[in-house]
Amino acid sequence: MGENGYLEIEVPILVQSAGLEEHLHPIKASSGYLHTSPEFALKRVLAMGLPKIYSIVPCFRDEELGCHHGQEFTMLEWYRAGVGYREIMVEVADLLYRLCSVVGVDTEPVEKLTWADAYKKHTNSLAPLDEIEAMRVWVNDIEPKLQAPTIITDYPSEQAAFSVVRGDIAERFELYWRGVELANAFTELLDPVELRARWEKSGESRRLAGREPHPIDERVIDAVAKHPRAGGIALGVDRLVMLLLGASSIHEVRLPG
Amino acid sequence: MVYFQFVKPGKGTAFTRTKLKNMITGAVIERTFRTGETVGVADVEEFTMQFQYDDGDMYFFMNMETYETVGISTAVLDGVEKFLIDGLEVQVLLYKERPVAVELPNFIEAEITYCEPGVKGNTAQGATKPATVAGGAIVQVPLFVDQGEVIKIDTRTKSYVSRVRK
Q: Are residues B98 and B52 in the same domain?
A: yes
Contacts of B15 in chain A (CB under 8 A): 135-136, 139
Query: B17: which chain A residues are within 8 Å (Cβ-Cβ)?
Result: 139-140
At B124, is the pLDDT very low, low, confident or very high (cuts 50, 70, 90)?
Answer: low
Residue B123 has pLDDT above 90, yes or no: no
Total number of domains in chain B:
3
- Residue A83 is assigned to a structural domain of this protein: yes
Question: Is the predicted pLDDT of residue B47 greater than 80, yes or no?
Answer: yes
Segment A9-44, tens digit of pLDDT: 999 999 999 999 999 999 999 999 999 999 999 999
Q: Is residue B39 part of a domain?
A: no
Q: Are residues B137 and B154 in the same domain?
A: yes
Q: Residue A147 domain-assigned?
A: no
Could you give the CA distance from residue B138 to residue B133 in angstroms, rounded to a whole number? 6
Question: Same domain for B98 and B50?
Answer: yes
CB A192 within 8 A of CB A222: yes
Residue B10: is its pLDDT beyond 80?
no
Residue A239 resides in a domain: yes
* Neighbouring-strand partners of residue B73: B58
pLDDT at A212: 95
**Is the confidence metric ipTM above 0.90 for this complex?**
no
Domain contains B158: yes
Q: Which residue of B has its CA nearest to A19?
A: B11
Provide the residue range defining the domain that includes B85: 44-103
Instruction: Find the domain containing A245 and state its range.
Output: 7-104+190-252
| Domain end (from B103, B123, B141) | B103
Tell me the average pLDDT across A142-158.
95
- Let me know whether B127 and B78 are in one domain: no
> What span, in angstroms and rounded, lies between the C-alpha atoms of A83 and B12?
26
Question: Quick one: pLDDT at residue B127?
Answer: 84
In the prediction, which pLDDT does A86 show? 96
Instruction: Identify the band that residue B166 occupies on the pLDDT scale cut at 50, 70 and 90.
Output: low
Residues B97 and B140 in one domain: no
pLDDT of residue A83: 97
Of A23, A66, A131, the CB nearest to B5: A66
Residue B24, in any domain of the structure = yes
CATH number of domain containing A61? 3.30.930.10
The nearest CA of chain A is from the CA of B35 a distance in Å of 10
Q: Is A133 within the bounds of a domain?
A: no
| Contact residues on chain B for A66, CB-CB shorter than 8 A | 5-7
What does the pLDDT read at residue A171? 95
Give a yes or no: residue A138 inside a domain. Answer: no
Q: Which residue of A has its CA nearest to B8?
A: A139
Number of domains making up chain A: 1
In a domain, A93, yes or no: yes
CATH at B152? 2.40.50.140
pLDDT score recorded for residue B121: 64
Average pLDDT, chain A: 96
